[in-house]
Amino acid sequence: MADISREDLDEIYAFAVELGKQAGKMLMDAAQLRINGGDETQKEKEHVQKENAVDLVTETDENVEAFIKTQIANKYPLHKFIGEESYSKGSSRDYLIDSAPTWCVDPLDGTVNYIHLFPMFCVSIAFIHKNKPLIGIIYAPFTNQFFSSCTGRGAFFNQTQRLPLVRNPVPPMSVNAPSGCIFSCEWGKDRRDTPDGNMHRKIESFVNMATELGGREGRGGMVHGVRSLGSATLDLAYVAMGAFDIWWEGGCWEWDVAAGIAILQEAGGLVTTANPPDNYATDPIEEVRLGSRLYLAIRPAGPSSTETGRESQERTVREVWRRVRNLDYSRPGA
Amino acid sequence: MADISREDLDEIYAFAVELGKQAGKMLMDAAQLRINGGDETQKEKEHVQKENAVDLVTETDENVEAFIKTQIANKYPLHKFIGEESYSKGSSRDYLIDSAPTWCVDPLDGTVNYIHLFPMFCVSIAFIHKNKPLIGIIYAPFTNQFFSSCTGRGAFFNQTQRLPLVRNPVPPMSVNAPSGCIFSCEWGKDRRDTPDGNMHRKIESFVNMATELGGREGRGGMVHGVRSLGSATLDLAYVAMGAFDIWWEGGCWEWDVAAGIAILQEAGGLVTTANPPDNYATDPIEEVRLGSRLYLAIRPAGPSSTETGRESQERTVREVWRRVRNLDYSRPGA
């Protein structure tokens, strides 16, 4: 398949930016309707009250995805579309992204936050070609935070500030990483109390990262802070921003991470697998596979007097791998 | 000591609102200086580069506190002032709030976030009289989120939207709380790997709240989500908003929570102690003591067909107490 020309890619980027803004506004308008409740017209009021928040959110989720899908189909009828809502209703969870030009969309990431009107929700739109996320759009309308990138054009916050935010110079990773780092992680939906199940493996990993140096039989990482926002997409956006140093997670699907990976990679971040290889200290650090469901992201880093930025990122990857457990997430049928 | 008149209190409130806006702007201006780095004048650039982020943040913290303190001293010379920065340099951590009109200020809450430029930082200003927080101002300038309240005047988001956000009607607490709730908690700074120390007690409590119903020998709470923002002040603000249902924390000082408690109480929330009493199911639910360092906050709740809002809040308190450990925080000398 032929490459997409620079001109065409820039046009797709401009289209994606506008699409993200409109979709984010739809999310916020629907949230505002729930907030205003009785201040709206009687018809809207009845609509809001007759269903619970979860049903309303599902409806919004589907409406926004349908809007995005239609806009894309009108503008680029030959492009593939993979959306969370339509995908999860299908019977297959096979990995559907191939080398064709493909849009990968989560109309609403941070669904639990949206249900509770906690501002950390967003729309996430990625454009992928030859299995590479080339364009990423993330818009969190409640706090008016807009993240965007196009390969070769840089990554941006609110379209004007380049990512990472601090870039004169971009700081290297902490010398004693993960100490000094903000570690972002999520508890997720799988809360089964299964001995050695994913939840307990995650918690053991979180505790290792958090505990004082020397603690946990030498695995203590004494990170500067542990953060959980409830949105994988925004976690990645904040890694691209440089605000989070490390994000480690298992279980996400492509639409949760595609736009965030595009933005983070364009900003200079590193994304690989969550699961430590057999020899965490020396095995190669492979580039992330979009459908792997296992992700470890490190923020953009500049050089120090002793390391390149990439070297300090890779050192951090190995220090994380030393402290985390393997997670058991696979694709159905895989 | 005489009560403060309605007129005087309203004047103090208006003054506090403006003070919060100015202080928040100072925080954001200093952050922007670190972001812009080399785009600024040569003199500023050298200043930014010669010190590390932590030193710069400490300087900003002290500058903002000095600004707030001076403004208050000029306007209300007879009022007491307790600020985090000046307090922590003093030798005493005795509880200093008495019945006098007192300002309790954290110029920068979420210091770790601010160091890393993660947007969840804020200024926090409370006005207290007769040991009651009467006015609360919380301003997170990066995301332009402004929370304010004055006793008898309501609590507000961005000065126009009343808190909690959803209020037609205000939803009752979940029937199976903590299931269905967003649970907000913080890992904090104390990461000692001490068996049965505070960190391990906290983690055990978090895991109980998160695990599936029936798990953890019946203690599993299956909360809808676990969130950690790294700012006690913003945690409380989001409880007042109704976005977080439950916040449970030990170790905070008065300036971390005074403004948040003022806003949450004015919005209709409940604040009591983090530590379960001997009989969690029947012992009285006492009102929070500002200096206790142990806090459990429940969002504003409206009535259902079977309970008053207060009843559903109290039910939730007892369900949390059933799942959490006692934490060991006291005041030096206490």
Domain boundaries, chain A: 6-162, 182-321
Residues of A in contact with B203 (CB under 8 A): 203, 207
Label residue A331 by pLDDT band (50, 70, 90). Answer: confident
- Give me the architecture of the B182-321 domain, per CATH: 3-Layer(aba) Sandwich (3.40)
B284-302 pLDDT, tens digit each = 999 998 889 999 999 999 9
Of residues B93 and B224, more confidence is placed in B224
Higher-confidence position of A38 and B158: B158
Report the pLDDT value the prediction gives residue A291, as an integer from 0 to 100: 86
**Token pair of A182, please?**
């903000």
Distance CA A53, CA A147 (A): 27
Strand order in the sheet with A182-184: A225-227, A182-184, A246-250, A294-298, A270-272
Is A191 in contact with B182 (Cβ distance < 8 A)?
no
- C-alpha radius of gyration, chain A, whole number: 20
Is B98 marked as a binding-site residue?
no
Please give the pLDDT value at position B307.
Answer: 97
For residue A26, the number of C-alpha atoms closer than 13 Å in the C-beta half-sphere is 20
**Cα separations in angstroms, A123 against A22, A53, A237, B58, B224:** 10, 18, 12, 36, 21
Over range B87-91, report the average pLDDT: 63
Q: Between chains, do B118 and A144 touch, taking CB under 8 Å as contact?
A: no
Answer whether residue A191 shows pLDDT above 50: yes
B242-279: pLDDT as tens digits: 999 999 999 999 999 999 999 999 999 999 999 999 99
**Backbone phi, then psi, for A293, in 5-degree steps?**
70, 10
Q: Which contacts (CB < 8 Å, 24+ apart) does range A18-21 have?
A: A19/A68, A19/A71, A19/A72, A19/A125, A19/A137, A20/A123, A20/A125, A20/A137, A20/A138, A20/A139, A20/A146, A20/A148, A21/A139, A21/A146
**pLDDT higher than 60, residue B103:** yes
Binding residues of A for Mg(2+): 84, 106, 108-109, 256
C-beta atoms of B228 and A224 within 8 A: no
Size of the A and B interface in Cβ pairs below 8 Å: 143
Whether A246 contacts chain B with CB within 8 A: no
Q: For residue range A230-289, what is the model confidence (pLDDT) as tens digits? A: 999 999 999 999 999 999 999 999 999 999 999 999 999 999 999 999 999 999 999 998
Is the CB of residue B191 less than 8 Å away from at least one CB of chain A?
yes
Instruction: Report which of A39, A28, A142, A31 is spatially closest to residue B168, judged by C-alpha positions.
Output: A39
Please identify among residues 145-184 of chain A the ones whose CB lies closer than 8 Å to any CB of chain B. Answer: 145, 161, 165-169, 171, 182
Report the gap between the CA of B8 and the closest CA in chain A (Å).
Answer: 32
| Any A CB within 8 A of B295 CB | no
Give the pLDDT of residue B52: 72
The CATH label, of 3.30.540.10, 3.40.50.300, 3.90.1150.10, 1.10.260.40, for the domain at A6-162 is: 3.30.540.10
- Determine the pLDDT at residue B334: 47
Q: Which of B33, B44, B47, B118 to mutate to test the interface with A (most CBs of A within 10 A)?
A: B118
Cα maximum dimension of chain B: 67
d(CA A58, CA A65): 11
Checking if the pLDDT of A92 tops 80, the result is no
**Residue indicated by tokens 């005493």:** B92
Kindly state the average pLDDT of the residues B97-109: 93
Residue of B nearest to A219 (CA): B193
Supply the pLDDT for residue A89: 64
**Stretch A210-223: mean pLDDT, rounded?**
97
Across A75-100, average pLDDT: 79
ipTM above 0.85, yes or no: yes
Task: State the angle between helix axes of B6-36 and B42-50 in degrees (0 to 180), rounded to the nearest 10.
Answer: 90
Contact of B4 with chain A, judged by CB distance below 8 Å, is answered with no
φ, ψ of residue B284 to 5 degrees: the values are -60, 150
Query: pLDDT value at position B41?
Result: 52
Q: What is the mean pLDDT of residues B51-64?
A: 85
* Beta bridge mates, B162: B156
Is the model's pLDDT at A39 over the cut of 90? Answer: no
Range A69-77, long-range pairs (CB < 8 A, 24+ positions): A69/A105, A71/A19, A71/A22, A72/A19, A72/A103, A75/A15, A76/A12, A76/A101, A76/A103
CB–CB of B238 and A143 under 8 A?
A: no
Tokens of A154: 């840089």
The answer to whether the CB atoms of A191 and B225 lie below 8 A apart is no
Residue B9 assigned ligand-binding role: no
